[in-house]
Amino acid sequence: MIKLCLILFFSILVFSINTQADTWQPSQGHTQIPIWPKSALQPTNLEDMKIVTNLLVAGKEWIKVSRVSQPTMTVYSPKVKNTGVAVIVFPGGGYQILAIDLEGSEVCDWLTARGFTCVLLKYRVPGENIKINGKKIKSGPYPKSSLALEDAQRTIRLVRFNAAKLHVDPHKIGVLGFSAGGHLVTATSTLFQKHIYKAVDEADKASCRPDFGIALYPGHLWIDENKFELNSNVPVTNKTPPTFLLQAEDDHIDSVNNSLVYYIALKNAGVPVEMHLYAQGGHAFGLRHTKFPITDWPRLVETWLRTIGMIK
């Protein structure tokens, strides 16, 4: 049933789009920074496609980016007194596209208004059956594809390595993600000791363990519809960082069991975890406020960050 919903969801995206497409660029005053040296990536003729969807969330359209093969990060500096905390944001999109504003730049606007440094990661989602130099490249969660996790680990290391330049505390660097991006939060939180890629420079000597994780309606965690089991590729231990989980029971894209099974694993491992489960809210609401109480989640996150000592 979940797979069918995903197929229908992305089929709707294909046929419900504005036909004008170009390359996504951040708002004025912000610049995308490549996270890898050119020598570290395979050459590709893929060009990112920015498409404005006709699907409305809270009465507004949203932007998806597809065919991403050249990952970048965009740094958004605090607009008020700097807390010293950095949050790396992973937009969702089923590891096929990125909801770059709904679950990306809009989140950075909220965070910077609260004194956080926000780093928006445009991670690799080249799409299915894409060939680069004759080699088929896959999108998807680790280990089906390592591309997104490589980009996430690399970005955490870059932010920590450049903490002084970014005016952030190297011990207060967290990750926040939605849907597939929520899964990426759990992957970075549990696989930080695994060498996913070969080091390319001094930055790769820095730790890629996030200091906290915020996963909103995450997917790819509950792997068996007949059993209540956590995906073995998300190996929770007592070293997994404090985690915040948010889910709606009526989410028909990523079942509530994804959050529940991860919550139980964290609890059993002695990891500080806070979960908020709401009856209604669905999927992919991002930061946009709707009639459902679940969309008040930013206030809950701020309170939680105080309880774990990230902000005063």
**In the 8-state DSSP scheme, what is residue 312?**
-
**pLDDT, tens digit (0-9, with 9 covering 90-100), for 6-47:** 433 433 343 334 445 688 999 999 999 999 998 888 777 788
Residue with tokens 């200091």: 211
**pLDDT, tens digit (0-9, with 9 covering 90-100), for 198-247:** 999 999 999 999 999 999 999 999 988 788 999 999 999 999 999 999 99
pLDDT at residue 75 in the model: 98
pLDDT at residue 127 in the model: 82
What's the N-to-C CA distance of the chain in angstroms?
A: 44
pLDDT at residue 54 in the model: 84
Cα–Cα dist 176/243, whole Å = 10
pLDDT at residue 16 in the model: 39
Cα–Cα dist 108/88, whole Å = 9
Q: Which residues contact 271 (CB under 8 A, 6 or more apart)?
A: 236, 238, 240, 241, 242, 243
Q: Which of 205, 26, 216 is nearest to 112 (CA)?
A: 26
For the chain, which domains are there?
A: 2-307 (3.40.50.1820)
**pLDDT, tens digit (0-9, with 9 covering 90-100), for 88-107:** 999 999 999 999 999 999 99
Burial 129-163 (b: 16+ CB within 10 A, else e): ebeeeeeebebbbbeebbbbbbbbbbbbbbbbbeb
This prediction's pTM: 0.92
Q: Which of 11-20, 73-82, 128-137, 287-296 has the lowest mean pLDDT?
A: 11-20
Cα–Cα dist 254/124, whole Å = 21
Asked if 249 and 280 touch (Cβ cutoff 8 Å), the reply is yes
pLDDT-based confidence at residue 141 (cuts at 50, 70, 90): very high
The structure tokens listed for 221 are: 């965690």
User: 199 φ, ψ to 5°?
Assistant: -60, 140
pLDDT at residue 3 in the model: 40
